[in-house]
Amino acid sequence: MAMGTKGMKKFVARSLLALLPVVAYVVLYLVLDPFRVVHRYDGVSIAPGDTIERMPNKRYVAVEGLKYYNPTHHYDAFIFGSSISSNFTAAAWKRHLPDSARVYHFTAGAETLSGIRDELKYLVDNGYNVRHALFIMEEEMFRRPRRYEEMPFVPHYDVSPVITRLHFHRVHFNAFRDPYMFAYQLMPSLTVDRLLADGKIMTVPSGRDEVTNEDSSYALDTLIQRHSREFYADLPWLKDMPIVPYPMPLSIDADAEASLRDIARLLQDNGIDYLVIVPPRYMSQPLSLIDRGLLCDIMGKDKVNDFSNDSTLIHDMYSYYDGIHILTHRCSELIDRSYSRRKWGF
């Protein structure tokens, strides 16, 4: 009996010893909060003075920023979309809204239609005053899979009906366990280049507007304006990019159609004025006629503005930062053109 007790004590001691690294990781994750998702949001998504930031979960930032600022700013107009939507600015949209409109940007990396549906439902169910909505739906969004296991893309647990708080933090904790990411907390200068190359950290954009949840493109736009030749010379692959052989024959599958119908139902039931823009992509095929017809049927022909077939923008690499994200002034033009179509009924 005594030998059994002694053996059990050794087993427990060894087990506790084996668990020490995990416990240490958990404690460091909670204390350091490397992705700023543990401690209470303080109205600033990026710490003042930072020049390099761990890749943020923009879905989390959008929700927490909304909770923090809405009591004083009373938002009633929302922009939904992926990172492509980030250059469709609040200022550009406000030109076509009532003077009293207060715009908030619900940007989410690698956004999906189901993600937009959940975000819109969250706003409606929680009593936010949603009067206007602008949806930026690139062709890829219609067929983009959910990415619940990747740190920058896992939805906020208050918004997604399938994500728990535990799952959310497990995904972020696993990202923190990456050896390079962990080393970055202790010796950033030794790992920064590797993490920047892997897209796990980023340079902090200057001029971020926390109130509208927008990253400013002013610095990059100024660089392109003054040194356009040098900027695009660093992107040689962009100039020689062949026509991308997509979309697939049908981009809107049954799941995408169901999400679109849910979005349309929420908009109609709550009397929300809205607009849909399908942006172009450099050297890519436009949205198929079948998909365009289905999108117009669900969301309304007068609400959908499909620029994916704009031959000028498709073939002009100087209208993009990288072939995917469109220059801010071009995005403003697309908003203006959309409202011009709406005004004249075509």
**Positions of the chain with pLDDT lower than 70, given as ranges:** 1-4, 6-19, 45-55, 195-196, 198-206, 237, 241-249, 343-346
Q: Where are the domains of the chain?
A: 48-149+200-344
Residue 203 has what pLDDT? 64
The phi, psi pair for 65, rounded to 5°, reads -65, -40
Nearest one of 201, 204, 180 to 190, comparing CA atoms: 180
Which structure tokens are listed for 338?
Answer: 């959309």
Residue 114 has what pLDDT? 95
Q: Which residues contact 221 (CB under 8 A, 6 or more apart)?
A: 327, 328, 329
Q: What is the DSSP letter of 150?
A: S
Residue 1 has what pLDDT? 45
What is the pTM for the complete model shown? 0.89
Nearest one of 160, 169, 208 to 34, comparing CA atoms: 169
Nearest one of 282, 280, 304 to 293, comparing CA atoms: 304
3-state secondary structure at position 121: helix
| CATH class, range 48-149+200-344 | alpha beta
Residue 201 has what pLDDT? 63
Residue 193 has what pLDDT? 75
Distance between CA atoms of residues 332 and 16, nearest Å: 59
